[in-house]
A = this chain, B = another copy of it.
Amino acid sequence: MYVVIVYDVSVERVNKVKKFLRQHLHWVQNSVFEGEVTRAEFERIKATLQQLIDENEDSIVIYKLRSRPFREIIGVEKNPMGDII
Interface residues in chain A, defined as those with a beta carbon under 8 Å from any beta carbon in chain B: 4, 6, 8, 28-32, 46, 49-50, 53-65, 69-78
Contacts and interface: CB of A to CB of B under 8 A. Distances in A.
16 contacts: A6-B29, A6-B31, A8-B29, A29-B59, A29-B61, A46-B72, A53-B74, A55-B76, A57-B75, A60-B73, A60-B74, A62-B73, A63-B70, A64-B69, A64-B72, A65-B69
A59 B72 contact: no
In the A-B complex, the 10 residue pairs with the closest CB atoms: A8-B30, A60-B74, A59-B76, A55-B75, A58-B75, A62-B72, A64-B70, A59-B75, A63-B69, A29-B61
A3 B2 CA distance: 16
